[in-house]
Amino acid sequence: MDVMTDQQTTGPMAPWSAVFALSLCAASVVAAEWMPVSLLTPIADSLQLTEGQAGQAIAVSGLFAVLTSLFISAATRGIDRRSLLLWLTGATLVSGIVVAFAPNYPVFMVGRALVGVAVGGFWSMSAATMIRIVPGKDVPRALAILNGGNAVATTIAAPFGSFLGQYIGWRGAFFCVVPIAALTLIWQFVTLPEMPSRERASAVAAFKVLRRPGVSYGMLAAALFFLGQFALFTYLRPFFETVTRIDVTTISALLLVMGVAGLVGTSLIGFVIRRRLYASLVLMPFTMAGMAVALTTYGSSLGATAALMSLWGFIGTAAPVGWWTWLSRALPDDAEAGGGLMVAVIQLAITMGAAGGGVLFDTSGYRATFLFSAGILALSASVILIGVLRRRARADSQCAGCVPASPAM
């Protein structure tokens, strides 16, 4: 590894400044990606769409994130990774301008596609970038800072968008991402070292990790988890307005409570998954499935809805930490290829969840959407449980007469 070669281009503190610049980049791309969640109703009214059609803004960004994450490494061989990260940040900036001034639905969706390219490219390279700009012993800390930007954006994007939307409109809310992306671009330009491309993999390299034992179960379970989560999460605002019957200010407050609960969950989950990773991956989707069902019964009660949404945020925001930890354990020697596939799996699942949830919401109402979410989340828990049991059985057969290794249950 030529890690030190990259680090010598910067001073002792510069790598950490670059880490924080990338954390801000993570916050800006995630905020841009999820801003529509709290603005579906005004977007639909302004562009003369149904709420389900407006929800496809999440789906199209997810689709382009899938395509980018799978093929960006092979397609950009020979391009310095510093330059590539700057271009991706620039795409986030341009997207904010295009969406904010979109005169119609097709232009709006072009802007959302640009966000998808930025999301897929940035997250595919994020772990590898951290490995190259900080010493090996500091990589976990750097990744924690990076994911902190993600958690903060997840916390504030929806309530912030909802709050701003009532004062400066949904277009103004989207435009707020532009100055943040501009600051991020300048900060990265100043602090990121040169990172010559080392990528030699083919376009199908990411799929080869599926041959590894247990990886296919984990990827499928992760896909089902995010599909089920975002089939419901994408349509919370119209649910709050039509079922819980609360105003925009209360919606903003409720989304903020969800976000804060998510921050708490993210800060605590590390202590749990260190010892009980697979148990956590089973229990989290199963618990969220129960909450989705409960919302169809108690959704008209503000108190019950607030409690359920707090727990949803607590688990749902923290869950990706569990899945990335699983990836690091399942593919410790092939994390880059696995990371690209994981990003693709997650974004494809989000795309399918947002699209499928929107169709159900428009044709059959919120109950069908939420029960669909519950079923998919329960299926995710079942798949990872089956994978764990198969792993135990395989360990027993390979180690007859000895104590089998525990799968961290």
CA dihedral 88, 90, 96, 98 (to 10 degrees): -100
Instruction: Output the CA angle 59-269-271, nearest 5 degrees.
Output: 155
Q: Which amino acid is at 228?
A: G
Same domain, 29 and 131: yes
Q: State whether 253 and 116 are in the same domain.
A: no
For residues 324 and 212, state if they share a domain: yes
The rounded distance, in Å, linking the Cα atoms of 214 and 99 is 41
Q: Is residue 389 part of a domain?
A: yes
Are the C-beta atoms of 118 and 84 separated by less than 8 Å?
Answer: no
Task: Place 405 in a pLDDT band, splitting at 50, 70 and 90.
Answer: very low
Q: Are 272 and 376 found together in one domain?
A: yes
219 and 329 part of one domain: yes
The tokens for 134 are 């900080």
Does residue 407 belong to any structural domain of this protein?
Answer: no
Check: CB of residue 215 under 8 Å from CB of residue 330.
yes
Same structural domain, 110 and 58: yes
User: What CATH number has the domain bearing residue 246?
Assistant: 1.20.1250.20
27, 152: one domain: yes
Give Cβ neighbours of residue 36 (< 8 Å, ≥ 6 apart). 43, 54, 55, 57, 58, 112, 161
Which range is most confident: 1-5, 79-83, 398-402? Answer: 79-83
Q: Is residue 166 part of a domain?
A: yes
| Residue at a domain's end among 191, 225, 240 | 191
Segment 365-378 mean pLDDT: 95
User: In terms of residue numbers, what domain contains 358?
Assistant: 206-394
| Pairwise CA distance, residues 382 & 4, whole Å | 44
| Per-residue pLDDT reduced to its tens digit, 67-106 | 888 888 777 777 888 999 999 999 999 999 999 998 888 8
Q: What is the pLDDT of residue 407?
A: 45
Q: pLDDT at residue 189 above 90?
A: yes
Q: Which of 57-71, 155-169, 377-391 has the highest mean pLDDT?
A: 377-391
Distances (CA, A) of 278 to 228, 284, 285, 403: 19, 10, 12, 19
pLDDT score of 12 more than 50: no
Between CA 359 and CA 298 the distance in angstroms is 23
Residues 261 and 166 in one domain: no
Cβ within 8 Å of residue 155, ≥6 positions away: 256, 259, 260, 262, 263, 317
Residue ending a domain, choose from 191, 224, 259? 191
Residue 70 in domain: yes
Q: Say yes or no: 165 and 312 in one domain.
A: no
Q: What is the mean pLDDT of residues 196-221?
A: 74
Alpha carbons 107 and 113: distance in angstroms, whole number:
10
pLDDT for position 307: 95
Residues 144 and 226 in one domain: no
Q: Is residue 39 part of a domain?
A: yes
Mean of the pLDDT values across residues 21-44?
84
Give the pLDDT mean for 316-334: 77
What's the domain count of the chain? 2
**Angle made by CA atoms 253, 254, 257, in degrees to the nearest 5:** 90
Owner of token pair 């994981």:
342
Over 50: is that where the pLDDT of 8 sits? no
Q: What is the mean pLDDT of residues 10-39?
A: 79
Specify the pTM. Answer: 0.73
* Residue 62 in domain: yes
Q: What is the pLDDT of residue 5?
A: 41
**Domain C-terminal end among 159, 191, 223:** 191
User: For the ranges 253-257, 271-275, 398-402, which has the lowest average pLDDT?
Assistant: 398-402
Enumerate residues 6+ apart whose C-beta is below 8 A from 239. Answer: 295, 299, 366, 370
Q: How confident is the model at residue 334, as a pLDDT?
A: 66
Q: Are residues 267 and 183 in the same domain?
A: no
CA 210 to chain centre: 21
Q: Is residue 271 part of a domain?
A: yes
Grade residue 188 by pLDDT with cuts at 50, 70 and 90.
Answer: very high
With the CA atoms of 327, 122, 177 and 133 taken in that order, what torsion angle do they form, in degrees rounded to the nearest 10?
A: 100
Cα 211 to chain center, whole Å?
A: 25
Distance separating alpha carbons of residues 68 and 43, to the nearest angstrom: 26
Q: Are residues 183 and 217 in the same domain?
A: no
Report the C-alpha gap between 187 and 101 in whole angstroms: 26
Is 320 a member of any domain?
yes
